[in-house]
Amino acid sequence: MTSSTKAEAFALRRRPPLEKLIDNGFRQSTILMAAMVAFILLAIFATVFLGAREAISTFGLKFLTTSAWDPVNERYGAFTAIYGTLVSSLLALLLAVPLGIGTAIFITEDLLPIRLRDLIGMMVELLAAIPSVVLGLWAIFVMEPAIRPALGFLHDTLGWLPFFSTVPQGPGMAPAILILVVMILPIITAISRDALNQVPIELRQGAYGIGTTRWGAIFNIILPAAISAITGGVMLALGRAMGETMAVTMIIGNALNFNLSLLAPGNTISSMLANQFGEADGIQVSALMYAALILMLLTFVVNILAQWVVRRLSLRY
Amino acid sequence: MAFPAANPVTQSVSGFKRGTLFFKSSLPRNRFNVLFNGIAGVFATIAVLPLFLVLAYVLFKGGSLLRPGLFTQLPPAPGLSGGGIGNAILGTLLVTLLASLIAIPVGVGGGIYLAEYSRKGWFAQFVRFGNDVLAGVPSIISGVFVYGAIVATRVFFNQSYSALAGGIALAVLMLPTVIKTTDEGLRLVSNDLRLGAYGVGASRFVTITRITLPAALTPIATGMVLAIARAAGETAPLIFTALFSPFWPEGVFNPIATMSVLIFNFAIMPYEAQNQLAWAASFVLVMMILLANLVARRIAARSKT
């Protein structure tokens, strides 16, 4: 090699204008795409709010507390749907939390060979991949007829309680709650599993070192250490349960009148939207938009709380 | 844990009663332990039971209806039997493709911005927060949004319900997943690679497109496949955006049939033939989604070794 080529190789290269242009243009376009998230979020809020404006000015806050849904006289109140959303998601959570955390503990402890544990974990994740509408189909034709005798027994023995006061006759709140449990179980299990796996091994070794049993360690050391992430996962599952639409719509019965009984048909905000939005016109569209706005705010608050809980409750170890 | 039985001392070893050092299954805490082992096992069984039951019914009820006409014929009129779900299969593929064409470029671009240009800036933090909020928005709200913004305003050639509107509604749901997986995938790429690329004189654009994106391809591809599979099964955003059509797809500006909406519509009809088609469509849809999930798993597993 001659010295002139060497000098050329080490000479500083000026960035050609085209390269600068491409670099800058690429950067600007990624900023634009990142901004799309904020834009879409704002657009969703704006569209739903503008659509709901007419209903908000007509019905005001009474919309939340009245249960009339009367397209003929144009009187609307979403209490039945809001109550159904809250009750179905909270009761589903009540059932799914012990099941999900129990499953997560079972597949993070060394009770089974690791291959079997991974298999169980994988199957729970595949359950999350099954579309909601297929679960709804299964619920209509398989689950609901199968559990009807059990619900009938519940009515026969506890029928004096207002919650079980009606005879189960097909679609209703109780089957909807059960299908919601199936839908949110994978979320709780997956997040609890990750949280339990991240607890430092030293904590467990220390607990066993001072002579505790497996479940002594789980209840006193491991669960408290993982509680923040688990709580966050549970809140995310709550948000998912409140917004879940198809399976619930297909099995809840879509009753427009209020009923305290869990065995009677009910309604949720999302199933009301799924059922009526296509055929609605005039102020009914606006009332449905108002209900959608309430659902958005509910899930928004729950999701923000979930993020806050994860940050606030996290133990330092 | 048993204490060595060869120890001849019977009364005490450094203050302990010897008996307490043996494992006694009758102790309350050990009984408690066995009880909870059992409870956790029962819970795990209950958790996997629905998967087996749902899959078994979909396989048997849907699989038994499988015949060539299912893929090539149109659904029958209500009350009539026979026919197929050919238009719905095509429609699901088309709407999901439209959604991917919108969500993947935008999502990958946004993810590149978050991971490569601004990891800690206020705008990046704000976008990440907004992304988490968007991920929590219920799927039906995305349908309501697209209905209000696109279907009711008739922005596309005065068409109301259209395949494109359905694709946009699905894209809104896919976007957060795509951004998150791109962001996290790119952040796993070692910084040495970037510095090496700058060192040999590559521009930022070349570094990202030739070095870091290929290095993060596996996690990003896994995320994309899962996002597409999820979108293919979504129903709520489509029922009043893409609507349904008993005919073959007529371009992206007309209503279109999809498998998920077909399942919903036909499941609640009081006709046996339609219910059967709903099961058949469930079979095809579940097979497609499970296949996509297994592919994603395979991609992810291959990179670990």
Cβ pair A159, A165 in contact under 8 A? yes
User: In this predicted structure, what is the pLDDT of residue B273?
Assistant: 84
Q: Look at A271 and B5; give whichever has higher pLDDT.
A: A271
For chains A and B, what is the number of CB pairs under 8 angstroms? 264
Nearest CA of chain B to the CA of A22: how many Å? Answer: 7
- % chain B with pLDDT above 90: 26
User: In this predicted structure, what is the pLDDT of residue A156?
Assistant: 82
Whether B4 maps to a domain, the answer reads no
- Do B102 and B49 lie in one domain? The reply is no
- What would the pLDDT profile of B147-184 be if each residue is shown by its tens digit? 888 877 777 776 778 888 899 999 999 999 999 999 99
CA distance A40 to A151: 44
User: In this predicted structure, what is the pLDDT of residue A281?
Assistant: 79
Q: Are B138 and A270 in contact (CB < 8 Å)?
A: yes
- Provide mean pLDDT across the span B110-132: 88
Residue B229 touches chain A, beta carbons under 8 Å: yes
User: In this predicted structure, what is the pLDDT of residue A257?
Assistant: 79
- Do B57 and B203 lie in one domain? The reply is no
Query: Structure tokens of A39?
Result: 């834009």
Q: Residue A103 is nearest to which of B47, B140, B201, comparing CB atoms?
A: B47
Among B42, B65, B88, which residue terminates a domain?
Answer: B65
- What would the pLDDT profile of B236-251 be if each residue is shown by its tens digit? 889 888 888 887 888 7
pLDDT at B97 over 90: yes
- Do B36 and B147 lie in one domain? The reply is no
Whether B92 maps to a domain, the answer reads yes
- Do B147 and B219 lie in one domain? The reply is yes
Name every residue whose Cβ is closer than 8 Å to that of residue A292 and which is 6 or more positions away in sequence: A48, A51, A52, A269, A273, B140, B141, B144
Place of tokens 């439209």: B98
List CB contacts (< 8 A) between A265 and chain B: none
Report the SS3 class of residue B16: strand
Residue B244 touches chain A, beta carbons under 8 Å: no
Residue B180 touches chain A, beta carbons under 8 Å: no
Nearest CA of chain A to the CA of B270: how many Å? Answer: 12
Instruction: Count how many domains chain B has.
Output: 2
List CB contacts (< 8 A) between A127 and chain B: 47-48, 50-51, 54
Q: Look at B212 and A72; give whichever has higher pLDDT.
A: B212
B67-75 own/partner pairs: CB under 8 Å, 24+ apart? B70/B280, B70/B284, B74/B246, B74/B247, B74/B248, B75/B246, B75/B257, B75/B262, B75/B266, B75/B274, B75/B277
Domain span at residue B288?
A: 68-304
Whether B2 maps to a domain, the answer reads no
φ, ψ dihedrals at A272, nearest 5°: -65, -40
- Provide mean pLDDT across the span B32-53: 89
Note the residue count of chain A. Answer: 317
Q: Which of A290, A216, A253, A74 is nearest to B29 (CA)?
A: A216
pTM (2 d.p.): 0.87
Which residues of chain A have a pLDDT value below 70? 1-13, 313-317
List CB contacts (< 8 A) between A236 and chain B: 136
- What would the pLDDT profile of B250-296 be if each residue is shown by its tens digit? 877 888 889 899 999 888 888 888 888 889 999 999 999 999 988 88
Residue B287 touches chain A, beta carbons under 8 Å: no
Whether B142 maps to a domain, the answer reads yes
Q: Are B205 and A22 in contact (CB < 8 Å)?
A: yes
List CB contacts (< 8 A) between A250 and chain B: 264, 267-268
Q: Which of B234, B227, B194 is nearest to B211 (CA)?
A: B194
Nearest CA of chain B to the CA of A277: how many Å? Answer: 7
Residue A69 DSSP label: E
- Quick one: pLDDT band at residue B9, thresholds 50, 70, 90? very low
Instruction: Name which of A95, A111, A246 to mutate to probe chain B: the one with the most chain B Cβ atoms within 10 A of its Cβ.
Output: A246
Q: Which of B235, B250, B265 is nearest to B76 (CA)?
A: B265
- Quick one: pLDDT band at residue B2, thresholds 50, 70, 90? very low
User: In this predicted structure, what is the pLDDT of residue B8?
Assistant: 47
Instruction: Name which of A134, A254, A303 to mutate to probe chain B: the one with the most chain B Cβ atoms within 10 A of its Cβ.
Output: A134
Mean of per-residue pLDDT scores for chain B: 84
Residue B117 DSSP label: I
User: In this predicted structure, what is the pLDDT of residue B1?
Assistant: 45
User: In this predicted structure, what is the pLDDT of residue B141?
Assistant: 92
The CATH code of the domain that includes B290 is 1.10.3720.10
- ipTM of this complex prediction, to 2 decimal places: 0.86
- Quick one: pLDDT band at residue B196, thresholds 50, 70, 90? very high
- Do B259 and B197 lie in one domain? The reply is yes
User: In this predicted structure, what is the pLDDT of residue A6?
Assistant: 57
* Burial state string for B225-258 with b = 16 or more CB within 10 A and e = fewer than 16: bbbbbbbbbbbbbbbbbbbbbeeebeebbbbbbb
Q: Which of A270, A188, A170, A278 is nearest to A236 (CA)?
A: A188
